[in-house]
Amino acid sequence: MNMELEQQSDIESQESQQGLSSQQRILILVVAFLGWMFAGTQMSINGIVHFPAAADLLGPESSSDAGKWAGLLVCAFLFGAAAGGYVFGWIGDRFGRSKAMAISIACYSIFSFLSTLSPTVEVFWVLRFITCMGIGGMWPNGMALIQEAWPNTAKPILAGVLGTSANVGIMLFSLWCMHKDVNAADWHWTLQAGSAPILLALFTWFCIPESPSWLAEQKANPTEAGDVNPVTMGEVFNGKNGKLTLIGIVLAFVPLFGGWGVANWANYWAAEHDQQTVSKIPEEKEQVDSGKTKVNLKAEANFHRAWPGSISSLLGGALAFVLGRRLSYALLCVLAFGCTQFLYALPDPTHADFMFWVRWLGFFSGFFFGWLPLCLPEMFDTRIRSTGSGVSFNFGRIIVGVLIIATSFALKEEFEGRYDTVGRICGFMYLIGIVAVLKMPTTKTAKPPTTTTQGSYG
């Protein structure tokens, strides 16, 4: 199996260099970066907009349930992204990476706009689910296209580049929201802004070339009738692929839960503080009516988690290459766990150390999202790469979503509305990652690092 991986990697590297010009490879990189960056703005919407949107759609009589619905709306993202990773990943393997990437971008753009028309919070949940299917489809197709378009020597850096793009989107959107407040009276503009990438979708459909490796794979797997042997949606769960997919799901689950099931509670903790502060200060109440408040801790928390993550995710692939896949992953689990315990031990979000620990948590957790783009796609053959990496990266979100639903409903009854308690307990999930990474398959390369990215997982 090790030799097969090395041979496959070398063949794909040769095909990528022979089949595409330098300009085409750069264009693919730029579009994939932008596509995942705009997906990052949708993720930022999840952290900043869902709480005030839920409060508005529920109305004054039920606004106390905004925290619960904010958690459920995160589940719309998680379940939607999981479904999108599977469906659009399969489309990428069956019909081509570039076309599937264009459809994914169009999906999250169109339904972001339609979400502004939601009459109830339930309809809003459904539309956010479909929006996030596009987010889930963008990652595996963009990553597979980059992996197959560029030579091996560039892959650790490019994995970091794509990994950091989402954090760039989160950071820029958070910075915008720090200057233009998002509250129950004024949140629709955020989703309207999220529809802008529809232009990128059109450009991708008509201008981005297809992966030479994917095209070669289609020609190499004909049926008896002479047609291309199509990828089936269940193929990723069969045989050796099923084992690799299960390992990938667990490895992706830990950092995903760390972001959405651990760190995100800090945003809602801050959002609750914003709401409480505004309700106590008449001057702030008037400013909310005009669309601007001085109380914007939730956007600040989102920003200060995103900008360190933008730096570290850029280095995640290189860290995995230098320290090895297993050691780097386990070390990051320990460091992120420590940050969660210090962060949620603070008395409230106004504490002087709140942003300090939010930044460090964002920094260490960000490395995972440069690690995953390198390590997940290389586990799978070209034939099922988009589906395999998409299912691995996104199906962990289903587990995360189930756990968030549980904590959202338990927030009032069991935890007495204490976001800090929920965050501190959920932080222990990082320790599971140390056990999970030991199950990761090991490959050894007989070639020097300058010619292949298939370094030691150990």
What CATH number corresponds to the domain at position 424? 1.20.1250.20
The answer to whether residue 367 sits within a structural domain is yes
What's the pTM value of the predicted model, to 2 decimals?
Answer: 0.72
Residue at 301 is within a domain: yes
Domain presence at residue 157: yes
Asked, for residue 450, whether it belongs to a domain, the answer is no
Percent of the chain scored above 90 by pLDDT?
31
Q: Are 303 and 267 in contact (CB under 8 A)?
A: no
DSSP E strands, 219-354: none
User: How many structural domains are present in the chain?
Assistant: 1
Give a yes or no: residue 446 inside a domain: no
The arithmetic mean of pLDDT across residues 8-29, rounded, is 70
SS3 186: strand
Asked if 70 and 50 count as a contact pair (C-beta separation under 8 A), the reply is yes
3-state secondary structure of 401: helix
Lowest mean pLDDT among 88-97, 309-318, 435-444: 435-444
Task: Return left, alpha or beta for 226; rule: phi > 0 is left, psi -120 to 50 is alpha, else beta.
Answer: left
Q: Where are the alpha helices (DSSP H) in 153-223?
A: 155-179, 188-193, 198-207, 212-220
- In which domain, by residue range, is 168 found? 2-210+232-437
DSSP state of 208: P
In a domain? residue 401: yes
- What is the rounded average pLDDT of the residues 192-204? 96
Position 228 scores a pLDDT of 56
Contacts of residues 434-439 at CB distance under 8 Å and 24 or more positions apart, as own/partner, are 434/330, 434/333, 434/334, 436/247, 436/250, 436/251, 436/253, 436/254, 437/251, 437/325, 437/326, 437/329, 437/330, 437/333, 438/326, 439/247, 439/250
- pLDDT higher for 162 or 207? 207
pLDDT class of 440 with cuts at 50, 70, 90? confident
pLDDT digits (tens, 9 = 90+) for 124-155: 999 999 999 999 999 889 988 988 888 877 77
CA 443/CA 456 separation, integer angstroms: 6
Is residue 220 in a domain? no
pLDDT tens-digit map of 372-421: 888 887 778 877 887 888 788 777 778 888 887 787 777 656 776 677 88
Tell me if 305 sits within 8 A of 358, measured CB to CB.
yes
Q: Which residues have CB under 8 Å from 77's CB, separation 6+?
A: 42, 43, 46, 128, 129, 132, 135, 260, 397
Dist CA 263 CA 365 (whole Å): 9
457 occurs within a structural domain: no
Identity of the amino acid at 317: G
